Each structure stands twice: as structure tokens, then as C-alpha cells.
Amino acid sequence: MKEKMQGRFCPYCGEWNSFANKQCKACGLEIPNTSHGSTSGGNRLPVVLLVCCVLVLAVGALGYYISSVIGPSTDPVSGAESDSSSGNAVVTEIPQVSSGAEDVGYTAPPIPLTSFGGETAGNQLKIHSHVHDNYNNEYNEGLGGVTSNVENITEYLIGNQYRYFSFRVVLNYERRTDYHKDTYVRIYADGNKIYQSEIVRSGFKPTDVTLDMRGVEKLQVGICGSGDIRIVDAVLHNDEGFEQYSTMIPYTNKTDLNSVSLSHLQYWNGSSAEGGLRYISGTIKDSTGQLYDGAFAGTHENQDNWVEYDITDCGFKKLCGTIIMNTDSGGADTVTPIVAVYNGPWLEQLYKSEPVTNGSRNQYFEVDLKNSTQFRLQISGKYNIRLVNCYLYK
């Protein structure tokens, strides 16, 4: 019996051939089961492929139209929204330096904040010239508050032109012994607080701050309090090396001499607005009639009067002095006067004199400061005691 022959299209060899039992006579491969008895049935596979290609091209064209004409929508994760003119995402939150965010286009030259000009709605800041901090370092100028017990704020429209805002917070030299609970600096970026200093009061050390300003349109600088705080070397810039903008003229305790009178050094912290201790110039006489050139004395009766000195890197290793009885007291202290010396902010007692009373002999002392960077000199009482010949030695 003859094999049943059909003329069909072979999808493997691409030829129209005779088939016997679903096998192509040209290539010998078995043809899948399709509609028999119709020569057009062999076109179905290419048609399906063609339809799939058309669909893929249509979807791609639609996606291109959406992305290029309509633009991307807001990203719910990053908080970015579309810029219809360029298609680039505009980040609405302030990018941080460590975030890896794109950081381009910041080319504005550095400018001191005092030269930028600002607007205010209420209590604004005031520009002061020749500012001194509590270490008596001098700066060209600085910002301070005008009104006490409120936050004085000035707003600057910086228009996303700067990467950084650098400044130094200092305690005003004239208020170096003041102690208030509500003196601080706050910085706002587009209305959001991004920095607040510690309370600026007696014992405050000058603090350098650099804040990220990328993406910020409005910068607000706030000072709570009047007179105590100064913001110095405030500069908007696009360079991480902001140290070059410092205007500080340092007051230094360093000296080439092997010894220096303590009266020549500037203290940076004291127990009262009067300075804690006062230096009496002129001739001083002790109970034996011996004369001295100048003396330290207390400022308040019934309490400990003290000042603190910073001798970091000065090389001084010893404090010496003589404690005498004041022969012209002007009144009697209700406390028994003594002199004490303490090491560092932890107030380790290094020396304590004998009580000074009527008939007391002079007391000479030497205090080892070789492990000290700061020390406190304290005098109890106001009238009966004087500290003379007080020197630091290397």
C-alpha cells in the first residue's frame, strides 16, 4: 500500500516537500501535528512569531512615549519629584555629605555671612566688629543677638548655591564668667532645625561647626540671648578646606621666657561676673612690713573666688607664689581665707594652704603642673588674704 503523501511546509528546512507519515522527505525530520489537508496550515508558526514581535515593539514604543513625553512620576521611596523640562529627579530633602548624592553645579565663590545680607521678621542679629572670645582670641567681626530671653533670627536666601556653611560659636569675652540656662545657637534649613549648640556660658570652649547646605534655599541663623554669644568666621562656601577662612588672631599663653607672671596671662573662665579674682596693681604690704609689686585677691566675701587658666602646649610645669595677710583689710571675712589650686576640669586638688588668720606667717608654695593643661586658682574670702609673687615656670 502506498504511503499517504502531502505537500506541506517544513519549519526546519524551510522547503515545501512531500511528507510521508509526518516525515519531511527533504530533511527527514518529523513535523509537528498541525491541520492536515490544507496547504495553508503550515503558515501558522511564522504568523504567531510575527504577532509576538509586533506586540513587543508596540509595548516598547508606548514606554518610550511615557518616559520622554509625559515624564517620570514622583518616587515614593526617595521623595524625588519629576522635572518635566529635563527628566532629572529633583531631591526635595537636604542631601547629606555621606549619602553619595549627586554633587554638581556648586561654583559660587565663598562669601562671609556678614556680607551676604539677610532678611528678618522680628528680632534680628547684629554685626559686631573686633570680637573677642573668652580666651581673648580676636576675630574681625561676628554676629550677636539683640534682645535677651528670646531667639534672635536672621534669614538668608542662599538659593541652593553652596555646599557648606562653616562658623565658630564663641562666648563673648565680656561675658566669660556669666552663667545662663538659655543661651544657645540654632541653625535652620528651609524651616527645619539642623543644629543646636550646647548652652554657651562660663567655661564654654570655642566650637567649630560645618553644616551641609546642599539643596537649601533659605538659611536661618538664630541666637537665643543677648551679649553672651558671638558667631564668628561664618562663611558660605563650596570647599571642604574651610579652615582658610579663619580670621582669628590668637591670644597665646606661649612665651620664650622661662617664667611669666600669672597676672600677664588671660584667664578664660571665672566664678563671677567680676572675674572671680581681681589683680591689685601697685605696692602691697604684708604683716611684717615687706613690700610687693601687685597681688591677687578675691572679689566676693563668704564664697570661693576662682579663675581658670589654659596652659596647653605652653611648657609651664610649676606654679609658685606667696600667701600673705592683708594689713589693711577694710573689714573681716566671715570665712577663714585659704588658697587652693586644682587640676583640669575634674578639679583634682593639687594644693591647699593653711588658714590665714591674724598673726599668720607668710606661706610660700610650689605646685607641680607638668601633667596639667588647665588649672584653677581659688581664693576664699575677699579682704584678709593676698597672693603675691605668683609665677609660672618651665
In this prediction, residue 25 has a pLDDT band, given cuts at 50, 70 and 90, of: low
State what percent of residues in the chain have pLDDT above 90. 48
| pLDDT for the residue numbered 5 | 44
Which tops the pLDDT comparison, 15 or 135?
A: 135
- What's the burial of 100, exposed, middle or buried (CB within 10 Å: 0-12/13-18/19+)? exposed
Q: Between 98 and 355, whose confidence is greater?
A: 355
**Residue tagged 518610550 (cell numbers):** 64
Q: What is the mean pLDDT of residues 144-158?
A: 91
The pLDDT confidence band at residue 54, using thresholds 50, 70 and 90, is low
Inter-residue contact 170 to 232 (CB < 8 Å): yes
How far is Cα 306 from Cα 298, in angstroms, rounded to an integer? 8
pLDDT for position 219: 95
In this predicted model, which residue has the larger pLDDT, 98 or 63? Answer: 63
Section 113-127 average pLDDT? 75
Query: Looking at residue 363, what is its pLDDT?
Result: 96
Fold for the domain defined by 259-393:
Jelly Rolls (2.60.120)
Domain boundaries, the chain: 1-72, 111-245, 259-393
Is residue 81 pLDDT above 50, yes or no? no
Q: What length does the chain have?
A: 394
Same topology, domains 111-245 and 259-393? Answer is yes
Which of 119, 78, 113, 115 lies closest to 99, judged by CA?
78
Q: φ, ψ for residue 51 (rounded to 5)?
A: -65, -45
CA pair distance 231, 186, nearest whole angstrom = 11
261-272 pLDDT tens trace:
999 998 999 998
Residue 220 bridge partners (DSSP): 155, 188
Longest dimension (CA), the chain: 154
pLDDT for residue 13 = 62
CA distance 368 to 271: 23
Q: Which whole number is the average pLDDT over 12-20?
A: 57
Would you say the pTM of this structure is higher than 0.85? Answer: no
pLDDT at 93: 34
> What is the mean pLDDT of the segment spanning 94-116?
68
pLDDT of residue 85: 29
Express each pLDDT in 230-274 by its tens digit. 999 999 999 877 666 789 998 877 777 899 999 999 899 999 877
The answer to which of 69-73, 340-344, 378-382 has the lowest mean pLDDT is 69-73
pLDDT bucket at 28, cuts 50 / 70 / 90: low
Q: What is the pLDDT of residues 214-229, one digit of tens each?
A: 999 999 999 998 889 9
Identify the pLDDT of residue 43: 47
Kindly report, residue by residue over 317-366, the tens digit of the pLDDT.
999 999 998 887 667 777 888 999 999 888 999 999 999 887 789 999 99
pLDDT digits (tens, 9 = 90+) for 278-320: 999 889 998 888 999 999 999 988 888 999 999 988 889 999 9
**CA-to-CA dists, residue 49 to 46, 54, 55, angstroms:** 5, 9, 10
* Contacts (Cβ under 8 Å, ≥6 apart) of 89: 72, 75, 78, 80, 81, 82, 83
Q: What is the pLDDT of residues 167-214, one digit of tens each?
A: 999 999 989 998 888 999 999 999 999 999 999 999 999 999 999 999
Which CATH code is given to the segment(s) 111-245? Answer: 2.60.120.1060
State residue 104's pLDDT score: 63
The mean of the pLDDT values for the chain is 79
Compare 30 and 124 and report the one with higher pLDDT: 124
Q: What is the pLDDT of residue 94?
A: 37
pLDDT of residue 12: 56
